[in-house]
Amino acid sequence: MEKGCPLSVLFADLDYYKKVNDLYGHGGGDLVLREMAGILARSIRKGKDWVARYGGEEFLAFLNGCGNGKAREIAERIRVAVMRHTFHYRGQDIRITCSFGVVTIDDFSASPSPDEILDAVDRRLYQAKERGRNVVV
């Protein structure tokens, strides 16, 4: 991370993912996770940003030198891409949406810890879920 540049964190969660596993089995669920990871990886800048599976059906993306407005645009673009994407598994079409929390750190004088950053972006994701899912907060 460049000193003095903002850092934005996206926290993505696939909406109603348990239904995918229940309807299509873990093979279908795994396919959705792999393709979701691909959508995320194609949506970030190689060599500057990174994305990782956080757990279950959750993913984190770290956008270096990216302010909040641009980070929200990126999250919205990914949200729409997932919503429009059809996952194909054993002749079945699977459609799913995702919700996003977005947090930007641009004041490093407070020096937030990794746990504080994760807590903040998790609260944003929870707000997205409360707002009905398939949204960016």
Q: Please give the Cα distance from 107 to 113 (Å, whole number).
A: 13
Catalytic residue among 57, 58, 73, 76: 57
Residue that is written with structure tokens 């409360």 in the block: 130
2 annotated active-site: no
User: Is the separation of the CB atoms in 28 and 92 below 8 Å?
Assistant: yes
3-state class (DSSP) for residue 72: helix
**Cβ neighbours for 63, distance < 8 A, ≥ 6 positions apart:** 7, 8, 9, 10, 44, 45, 49, 70, 71, 74
Residues that are catalytic = 57
